[in-house]
Amino acid sequence: MPSIAFLLDAAIKATVILAAAWLLTMAMRRRSAARYFTWTCALAAVLAVPALSPILSRWDVHLRTPAIASAARRVFIGDAAAESAPDVASVVQPRRARRTVAWPVVFWLAGAIVVLARMGAGHLRLALSLRRAPEIRAPDWIAVRDAAQARIGLRRIVRLRRSAETDVPLTGGLFATSVVLPEASDEWNADRRVIVLLHELTHARRRDPLLWFMAQVAVAFFWFHPLAWLAAARFRREQERSCDDAVVRAGAAPSTYAEQLVELARSVTAAGAFAAALGMAAASDLEPRVRALLDARANRNGLSRRVCCTAIAALLAVVIPMAALRGQESKPAASLSGSVYDVSGAAVPGVLILLKNNTSHQEAARTNGAGEYTLSGLPAGSYTLEVRAQGFAEFRQAIVLPAASGNNITLGIGPVTEAVEVVGKAPPPKETGASRRIRVGGMVQATKLISMTKPAYPAGAEAAGIEGTVLLRAVISTGGDLLGLSVMNQSVDAELASAAMDAVKQWHYQPTLLNGEPVEVVSTIAVTFRLER
């Protein structure tokens, strides 16, 4: 089921697309074919954007399966450590969040089901009525049909049917399209037969019943959006008007065609079982259609295949980036919590927990007296979890949030390395002429903190019971001062970060010496604020 943010995002994008289509069609007042093509593309786009959005937004999800996560774990911590460390699938145990009912989503789903059910019932009645309607095999009708198909360039054979359930000619069927004629059609004169079949076969050639079905699906998805209903109504109106112009292009006289439309509209009572089909004459839109037919300034030319392909390519160039564009709210904040244990099962307090993503952003926390830690307010995505504790092996783990919201960690004992140097007596050097002085390096004297101002616990944070670890980064200069001091983790409380910065910037170090010369080094400082209970 889609989320509220997904529906809101889709509604905003649909508004932009339909509003742009509305403005474009206003500039095409005398070109019905261009207006119909524009509304077809717009309704297809409002369906394509929400359909493509979840697919395009998952390109960055590549560590969600246990097999890939296990392989990543072996790359991070090595094969030997991987044998003794717990598997990611067994260690990362998401806590089951309490599910809450999103009533706006339920309300949307109920409305969509109602609209789809009504649409499905109409098409079911149409399919049953088409099966009941007998096929017309009279030679005179077949001859008129074949001639009309040749005039409009329709190559496949469209069946003609006759039914007592309709009093107006119509076209129905999503894939196997049929033209349905009323029982009174045998009494029609030659002009009406030709005009009616030209009109209905044009619908069949353009697959208009299938496109109308697409428009109805768009309305069902965006039933709450007024623009969707208005767009579907405009689409249906332009569908008939562009078909009228196609009939005129095929050779029908506009005045004769308008006269036949009026005569057919007089016999219309109700759509009945064929309500989902495309009826030729509807009284609601008759007057504008007749005026458009009699308008001598109207441009009745169709769109070339080259223009249509260019327009579709331009539409895809807009729709795909729009579908991939997701607001920040589409990735909700996640949390990570768990406990740290040693191999005996005892809790390990005071351990530094580092969480890093593929950018410079990091978060930090320390385990409490019970070995528990919590990191909250994290953006969803892929992370690397690092745990460092003196005497224990370094722990690294690839995780994905929010899928992995809980994590218990077992630390192994760190490896012990001994180095023994055996010194013997070298043979006397050979005489090689002039002696050469060699500069010997590799002597590093680590930095040392010689002056420290202890941070004070902010009164406001202390009263509010706020704890946390502030992760700072700075460069220790050759003079022992801190340069470029900054906070690395963004989710930590602002008061705690400010208190840590105010104190740490006053610290002074004995600089690091490389071969006796002071050098600059990067330092990471973790300041933990903890409340005693």
Which of the four pLDDT bands, split at 50, 70 and 90, describes residue 423? low
Q: Which residues pair with 106 in a beta bridge?
A: none
Q: What is the pLDDT of residue 471?
A: 85
Which regions of the chain carry the CATH code 2.60.40.10?
A: 71-95+331-411
Rg value, the chain, Cα: 38
For the residues 78-85, what does the mean pLDDT come to? 41
Lowest-pLDDT range, 337-346, 385-394, 404-413? 404-413
Q: What is the pLDDT of residue 89?
A: 36
For the residues 321-327, what does the mean pLDDT come to? 76
Superfamily holding 71-95+331-411: Immunoglobulins (2.60.40.10)
The span from the CA of 237 to the CA of 209, in Å, is 14
Read off the tokens for 160: 């003609």
The span from the CA of 315 to the CA of 312, in Å, is 5
Read off the tokens for 348: 């390990």
Q: What is the pLDDT of residue 78?
A: 43
Q: What is the pLDDT of residue 197?
A: 93
Asked if the model's pLDDT at residue 67 lies above 80, the reply is no
Sign of CA dihedral 99, 104, 108, 114: positive
Q: What is the pLDDT of residue 420?
A: 53
φ/ψ bin of 468: left (φ > 0), alpha (ψ from -120 to 50), beta (otherwise):
left
Residues 6+ apart with CB under 8 A from 162: 133, 134, 136, 180, 181, 182, 183, 185
Comparing CA positions, the residue from 200, 206, 207 lying closest to residue 260 is 200
Q: What is the pLDDT of residue 58?
A: 59
The span from the CA of 25 to the CA of 23, in Å, is 6
For the residues 62-87, what does the mean pLDDT come to? 40
Tens of pLDDT along 467-492? 888 888 888 998 889 898 988 887 78
The span from the CA of 385 to the CA of 518, in Å, is 33
Q: What is the pLDDT of residue 431?
A: 61
Which regions of the chain carry the CATH code 3.30.2420.10?
A: 444-529
CATH pick for 444-529 out of 3.30.460.10, 3.10.129.10, 3.30.2420.10, 2.10.60.10? 3.30.2420.10
Lowest-pLDDT range, 242-251, 409-418, 453-462, 489-498? 409-418
pTM (whole model) above 0.85: no
Chain-wide mean pLDDT for the chain? 80
Comparing CA positions, the residue from 6, 50, 17, 18 lying closest to residue 323 is 50
Asked if the model's pLDDT at residue 23 lies above 70, the reply is yes
Q: How many residues does the chain have?
A: 533
Return the SS3 of 277. coil
Burial 39-76 (b: 16+ CB within 10 A, else e): bbbbbbbbbbbbeebeeebeeeeebeeeeebeebbeeb
